[in-house]
Structure 1
Amino acid sequence: MDSAISEIPGTPGTSEHSAPRRELTATADNGLKIVVVGGFGVGKTTLVRSVSEIRPLNTEETMTQAGQGIDELGDIEGLRAKSSTTVAFDFGRITLDARNVLYLFGAPGQERFWFLWDRLFSGTLGAVVLVDTQRLADSWYAIDRLEHHGTPFIVARNDFGGPEYTSEQLREALDLDPGVPLIDCDARSRESGKDVLITLVQHLKSLYAPQETTP
């Protein structure tokens, strides 16, 4: 999936509908760490790029023949067309309000880089699991590690035009707890990406809000 990066309107190579980037301001009172995980080529880098209000940090490297037999591209056209891959993590930032910002970390998708995930999960408030319905099995490890760490998460089904599953079928295939939110998204769209993050924040608020007690 091609990446979409919003720039300042009117700059070369951008559309008139692109949202402006913000300068990195003074540190907010609350920096909330969010991790975006999922299988190889599922759109993690694209999501971070599309929503970040600063120019995102990427650790992408060109894929070469040395990766043949290691990075499994399969028979999916979008994967075969990939020419670069994340080898550490992606980083972006989006402001919630004057006191709170989200720091977004996109995890690498290939199995050979999964050893980095446990470190990325350290101090994480919550996570987004991106899934491609053409490769649901690629999401199992991400969900397993998040559950192992006790990290709250939501699942976002990225639109690759793959098989259509009902929410119930997808929940069953991923063995999701009924309390885990499941939404559709297009990682290339800034508005869709923001909806994903809003859903995650609302989910976290519902989990961490003080429980009402009855007298």
Structure 2
Amino acid sequence: MVFAPSPTPEVSRVTATDQPERPPTPVKMVIAGGFGVGKTTTVRSISEIEPLTTEASITEVAAGVDDLTHTPHKTTTTVAMDFGCITLDPSLKLYLFGTPGQDRFGFMWDDLVQGALGGLVIVDTRRLDDCFAAVDYFENKGLPFAVGINVFDGNLDHDLDEVRWALDIPDSVPLVLFDARERGSVRDALLVVLELALARAES
């Protein structure tokens, strides 16, 4: 009786493409600014998930405290934070935390910025004084940030040099124009912050 040799088992070969993909690196970024400048809209425009918002109706009492001159149709306001996320590429995912804009909710900022790589301070050129507190906060914290001028309906009341002078920010702080309603525009503004933060980390 002749026995045929058993077939040689195939050797399993693991290639780079067979390796499980690593999850993207999480990066925390803060969206800050004064009341009604477009923080919630910014997070909502870019988030790949349904954003978490903590908006409450503006009461008559609050309307007497918050200036609605330039936002007469605003009926809600953020009282804690906004949250959303966006995967920029397979290796990087941004987690966005929007701060409340009113001074009376400022005590939450320290918790919201903890662990953040950088921030985007949103400015409405019709009321620059509303963003002074946010700019001062990031400067005092030493946290990398860019100033994003939200162009409402394409209107820009002051040019970039005037805004930089009024805010008294150095040339090392990027100043960008963007539209909080446009996903691509928001992405470009966030990339400016990311590049700044990464450059700061490498140096």
Give the deviation of 1:29 after TM superposition.
Answer: 4.8
CA contact (8 A) 2:25 2:93 kept: yes
Partner of residue 60, structure 2 = 65
Partner of residue 100, structure 1 = 92
Say if 2:118 is the partner of 1:126: yes
Which residue of the other structure, out of 165, 168, 173, is the alignment partner of 1:175?
A: 168
Partner of residue 178, structure 2 = 185
Which residue identity is paired with 2:73?
A: A
1:35-184 superposed matches below 5 A: 35-73=30-68, 75-76=69-70, 79-160=71-152, 161-184=154-177
CA contact (8 A) 1:134 1:162 kept: no
CA contact (8 A) 1:132 1:162 kept: no
Could you tell me which runs of 5 or more consecutive residues in structure 2 were left unpaired when the two chains were aligned: 1-20
Which residue identity is paired with 2:29?
A: I
Say if 2:194 is the partner of 1:201: yes
Matches of 1:148 and 1:67 in 2, distance apart?
29
CA distances 1:72-130 after superposition (whole Å, capped 9, x unpaired): 32x32xx2211011110000000122232100001111111111112111111100000
Given the superposition, is the C-alpha separation of residues 208 and 179 from structure 1 closer, same or farther in structure 2, using an over 3 Å criterion? Answer: same
CA contact (8 A) 2:57 2:77 kept: yes
Could you tell me which runs of 5 or more consecutive residues in structure 1 were left unpaired when the two chains were aligned: 1-25, 211-215
Give the deviation of 1:169 after TM superposition.
Answer: 1.1
Give the deviation of 1:27 after TM superposition.
Answer: 9.1
Matches of 1:90 and 1:50 in 2, distance apart?
12
Which is helix-richer, 1 or 2? 2
Give the deviation of 1:205 after TM superposition.
Answer: 2.2
Given the superposition, is the C-alpha separation of residues 207 and 171 from structure 1 closer, same or farther in structure 2, using an over 3 Å criterion? Answer: same
Identity percentage of aligned residues:
47
Which is strand-richer, 1 or 2? 2
TM-score using structure 1 length: 0.80
CA distances 1:53-75 after superposition (whole Å, capped 9, x unpaired): 111101111111232432232x3
Matches of 1:60 and 1:49 in 2, distance apart?
13
Matches of 1:98 and 1:189 in 2, distance apart?
22
Q: Structure 1: which 4+ aligned runs deviate by more than 6 Å? A: none
Q: How many residues align?
A: 182
Given the superposition, is the C-alpha separation of residues 33 and 70 from structure 1 closer, same or farther in structure 2, using an over 3 Å criterion? Answer: same
